[in-house]
Each structure stands twice: as C-alpha cells, then as structure tokens.
C-alpha cells in the first residue's frame, strides 16, 4: 500500500472526528469491529479509504475497566492501555492529535490522575501510536519517562519530520529510554516486559504484563504491530513472519504462557463487542477478554497472510 493512501485515510479520520467533537456528539459504544476490519484489509490491499471515513464519527468511546489493574483509555481506531498501581501507572501508546486530549479525559473519567503515569511505552513510530507523545510529555511533566526501541525512536523522528510537508504535521520528543529485547521496565509497581517484534515497522516492540482478575492473574500481551500495510520489501515481511512465530511460542511457554491479547487496534480482535460483556458478567463467568484460542488463530492467520505476501514481494524484488 502506498504511504500517501495511509496518510490520507488517517487524515480523513482525524478531520471528521474533529468535526464530530465540535458537534458535541455523545459518547458512543457503536464502534463495530467487522466493518472496520474490512476497511483495514481494503486499506492494506487496495488503498481504499471510504470505510474509514464512514466510521470516523465513532472514534469517541467510553473508557472502561478491562481487568482489576488494566483500563482501556483509547478511541475506536487505536488502543491505549493504562496499567495501574497504587504507586503509579504505565501507559501503552499515546494516540495522536486531536485524540490525545481524549485519552487524558478518559483517564480522568475513570477517576484516575494522568499525572500518576510514571512510564509511557510506545509500540512503534507510526503517528497514530506515537503522535501524542509531545502533548503527553508537556502535560505529565519531567517525572514521566518515555520508552521505545532504538529503531522505534528513529522511525518516529523520521515520520514526524516527513509530516511537516503533509496535512497532519506532528512532532516527536527526543529519545528517552531505549528498550532492548527482553528488558523489563517499571512504572510505579507495574512491570512490563519488552519484546522486539519487527515487521509492521522494523522498530515495532510488543509488551507482556500481568492482568489481574480477582484472585487470578493472567499474562497479557500487546502485539505492537498487526498489519503489513507499509511494506518496503521481502526482508520486512520475513521479519514479520518471524515475529508472529515468536509470539505464538510465548502462548505455549510451559512456565508462564501468554494467555490473552490486548490489541493495539481493538477491532482486530472483536474487542469492542467482547468488552460489552463485562457489564453483565457474573462472578462465575469466564473473563470475556481472555481468548487464547482466538489469539492463536489470529497469529496463524497473520502468518498465513504474510507468507502469501512474501511470495509477491520476492517476485517484485526479482523483477
């Protein structure tokens, strides 16, 4: 997919969502996974953007408690997860303007204080995940640390510089914590483990952390990048396949396996619909966001799609 199509799609999303906000539309939970997933597929394969524009008005959704210590504070299009502790919090991804302000409002709506965020980890340098870093840094103050992979920091700076000539310019903060594979970092009492998973971008990093549900603690995982929509050659696709395989092995770890996926784009896992079950869940009911079988199938599907794309990319390179 061409970069300009991706930019155009997200620019349109931002424009319409801003218009929706200006009209003071109420909070909505009508953020449907299936049509957005179809739109995402069309964006990657054909560069079509119409479906994204159509669903932009549903960007604003209610924040919610996913687990005892994990909250969703993102929007329809892209996730932001807040991992909490009495001593301070960790935030996964920053959203992007104009929605970073919505992220802050979501945190406050949950009765939490954004200034208690001690650490912000960013999955990769695309603007919908890193574009709000400058805004957050200005609000949260010097005590909050920001962390990415080395290549992630470079990619984000490059993306921000390129945006100066486009319709949605943004700035990136200077590098702070540089994450390496297998490194565990903490914010407050929250520990989060980093896994370098290149492919979506070569600087993509994924995270494992604990999600508590009463007496039960799950090993949760956020895959840093799920799509092959900005491919620069077969090497990138090969890296993506290797990353997907690695993540799948984590779900089979004999000592402490990953048991659930809290996605960077909720529509990719049906999160929007699944989280509504939290409202009616009984104490004896299984947790609706824990779906290990579904996570493994998603990984298998991603690998199968990437292997098909690898054939195409190798043919292009050969020609």
d(CA 146, CA 186): 11
pLDDT value for 43: 62
pLDDT value for 24: 39
Residue 196's CB is within 10 A of a number of other CB atoms, namely: 22
* For residue 57, pLDDT beyond 60: no
d(CA 94, CA 160): 14
Assign 245 a pLDDT band (cuts: 50, 70, 90).
very high
> Mean pLDDT, to the nearest integer, of 70-84?
95
- 153-160 long-range contacts, CB within 8 A, separation 24+: 153/125, 153/178, 153/203, 154/125, 154/203, 155/124, 155/125, 155/126, 155/201, 155/202, 155/203, 156/122, 156/124, 156/125, 156/130, 156/203, 157/125, 158/125, 159/125, 159/126, 159/127, 159/130, 160/127, 160/131
pLDDT value for 55: 42
pLDDT value for 156: 98
Please identify which residue in the block is written with the tokens 């003071």: 24
Which helix or strand (DSSP H or E) is residue 148 part of? Answer: strand 145-149
SS3 for 175?
A: coil
> Mean pLDDT, to the nearest integer, of 119-126?
97
Report the number of distinct structural domains present in the chain.
Answer: 1
pLDDT value for 26: 37
> Mean pLDDT, to the nearest integer, of 195-221?
97
pLDDT value for 270: 87
pLDDT value for 121: 98
Give the pLDDT confidence of 136-175 residue by residue, as tens digits.
999 998 999 999 999 999 999 999 999 999 888 999 999 9
pLDDT value for 28: 37
* For residue 21, pLDDT beyond 60: no
Assign 215 a pLDDT band (cuts: 50, 70, 90).
very high
Assign 51 a pLDDT band (cuts: 50, 70, 90).
very low
Side-chain-facing half-sphere of 27: CA atoms under 13 Å: 11
Range of the structural domain that residue 311 is part of: 3-318
pLDDT value for 295: 96
End-to-end CA distance of the chain: 18
pLDDT value for 42: 66
pLDDT value for 77: 84
Return the higher-pLDDT residue of 228 and 296: 296
pLDDT value for 29: 44
Return the higher-pLDDT residue of 249 and 56: 249
Assign 54 a pLDDT band (cuts: 50, 70, 90).
very low
Alpha helix segments (H runs only) across 60-149: 100-109, 127-130, 133-140
Q: Tell me the Cα Rg of the chain.
A: 18
* For residue 6, pLDDT beyond 80: no
Judged by average pLDDT, the poorest of 51-55, 242-246, 253-257 is 51-55
Q: Report the mean per-residue pLDDT for the chain.
A: 87
Looking up residue 235, the CATH number of its domain turns out to be: 3.60.15.10
Side-chain-facing half-sphere of 280: CA atoms under 13 Å: 4
Assign 272 a pLDDT band (cuts: 50, 70, 90).
confident
* For residue 107, pLDDT beyond 60: yes
Residue 304's CB is within 10 A of a number of other CB atoms, namely: 12
């Amino acid at each position: 997919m061409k970069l300009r199509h991706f930019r155009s799609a997200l620019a349109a999303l931002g424009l319409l969502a801003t218009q929706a906000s200006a009209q003071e539309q109420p909070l909505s939970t009508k953020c449907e996974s299936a049509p957005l997933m179809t739109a995402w597929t069309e964006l990657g394969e054909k560069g079509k953007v119409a479906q994204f524009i159509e669903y932009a008005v549903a960007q604003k959704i209610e924040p919610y408690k996913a687990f005892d210590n994990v909250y969703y504070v993102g929007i329809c299009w892209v996730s932001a997860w807040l991992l909490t502790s009495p001593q301070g919090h960790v935030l996964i991804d920053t959203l992007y303007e104009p929605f970073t302000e919505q992220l802050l409002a979501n945190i406050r709506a949950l009765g939490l204080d954004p200034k208690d965020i001690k650490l912000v980890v960013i999955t990769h340098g695309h603007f919908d995940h890193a574009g709000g870093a400058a805004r957050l840094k200005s609000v949260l103050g010097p005590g909050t640390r920001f962390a990415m992979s080395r290549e992630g920091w470079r990619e984000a700076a490059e993306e921000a510089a390129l945006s100066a000539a486009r319709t949605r310019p943004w700035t990136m903060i200077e590098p702070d914590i540089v994450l390496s594979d297998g490194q565990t970092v903490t914010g407050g009492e929250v520990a989060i483990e980093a896994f370098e998973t290149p492919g979506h971008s070569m600087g993509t990093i994924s995270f494992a952390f604990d999600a508590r549900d009463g007496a039960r603690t799950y090993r949760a995982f956020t895959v840093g990048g799920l799509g092959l929509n900005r491919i620069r050659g077969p090497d990138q696709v090969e890296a993506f396949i290797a990353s997907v395989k690695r993540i799948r092995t984590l779900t089979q770890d004999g000592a402490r396996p990953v048991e659930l996926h809290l996605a960077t784009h909720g529509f990719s896992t049906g999160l929007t619909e699944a989280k509504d079950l939290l409202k009616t869940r009984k104490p004896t009911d299984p947790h609706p966001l824990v779906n290990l079988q579904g996570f493994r199938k998603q990984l298998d599907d991603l690998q199968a799609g990437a292997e098909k794309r690898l054939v195409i990319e190798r043919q292009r390179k050969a020609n």
